[in-house]
Amino acid sequence: MNPALAGIDAVIFDLDGVVTQTAKVHAAAWQEAFAPLPFDPVGDYRRYVDGKPREAGARDFLAARGVAASEEEVRAIAARKDALFRERIRQGVEVYESTLALIRALRGRGVRTAVVTASRNAEAVLRAAHAEDLFDARVDGNDAARLGLAGKPAPDTFVHAAQMLGVPPARAAVVEDALAGVAAGRAGGFAAVIGVDRAGQAEALCAHGATVVVHDLAELENPI
């Protein structure tokens, strides 16, 4: 039994950057949406927008650049980013096969699974990735808006997913690659918060609350 998942009844996965390789698609869409402002699709993406609702990410990045934007301007940038992202995913979505293998292994042993994302395009992404049947519950940006759930780094969406699965956070794990998502998992009192280091930020993931950091979920051999 892998110590990271010992005694766990449910595992809640982030979508972009954990299940699907769409983080780079989001980053490219943000870079184009923010033009002509310079936007680093690695550093700025991770620091300001990763894991957050679109409007919050746009607002945080603009504030960091000293741009005083109105709410109308923030919404316009967020809407442009969304349109650019949806256009890109029509060409297909790549997945992390090691993540899908872990999910299948967990489900084969009776562990419940959920996916949580700030994206409002989760249904389309999962469908394009042929992964919509791998989760017992899904909480996305549409659900958060409808239910009034605060976005990451608040724990609300993860806690709601655990409630949907009928498992208390103390018996569940969160898997995240975003700093805001790791912080949300820690704030929610989850038994384990597994940080997936896709961008050389292992120390930052630990500092934000990861109990375990891996470069790829294949490192969690014999998951339970």
Active-site residue, selected from the candidate residues 16, 44, 140, 177: 16
Q: For the whole model, what pTM was predicted?
A: 0.83
Residue 83 shares a structural domain with residue 186 = no
The answer to whether 131 and 107 are in contact (CB under 8 A) is no
178: Cβ contacts below 8 Å, ≥ 6 apart: 14, 17, 46, 50, 51, 152
Residue 223 confidence (pLDDT): 53
Comparing CA positions, the residue from 181, 212, 202, 187 lying closest to residue 13 is: 181
Residue 128 shares a structural domain with residue 198 = yes
Assess whether the previous peptide bond of 153 is cis (omega < 30° from 0).
yes
Picking from 37, 64, 89, the residue at the C-terminal end of a domain is 89
Give a yes or no: residue 101 inside a domain. Answer: yes
Residue 30 shares a structural domain with residue 139 = no
Range of the structural domain that residue 68 is part of? 23-89
Task: Give yes or no: 40 in active site.
Answer: no
Residue 32 shares a structural domain with residue 68 = yes
Task: Give yes or no: 16 in active site.
Answer: yes
Give a yes or no: residue 110 inside a domain. Answer: yes
Give a yes or no: residue 224 inside a domain. Answer: no
Residue 82 shares a structural domain with residue 128 = no
* Number of separate domains in the chain: 2
Identify the H or E element spanning 215.
Answer: none
Residue 47 shares a structural domain with residue 157 = no
Comparing CA positions, the residue from 135, 190, 162, 112 lying closest to residue 18 is: 135
Picking from 55, 89, 123, the residue at the C-terminal end of a domain is 89
Question: Distance between CA atoms of 169 and 76, rounded to whole angstroms?
Answer: 36
Picking from 89, 106, 122, the residue at the C-terminal end of a domain is 89
Q: Please count the residues of the chain.
A: 224
Residue 6 confidence (pLDDT): 86
Residue 53 shares a structural domain with residue 122 = no
Active-site residue, selected from the candidate residues 14, 82, 143, 156: 14
Residue 122 shares a structural domain with residue 64 = no
Stretches in the chain below the pLDDT threshold 70: 1, 221-224
Residue 179 shares a structural domain with residue 76 = no
Residue 159 shares a structural domain with residue 105 = yes
Give 166: exposed, middle or buried? Use CB within 10 Å, 0-12, 13-18, 19+: exposed
Residue 27 shares a structural domain with residue 111 = no
Give a yes or no: residue 78 inside a domain. Answer: yes
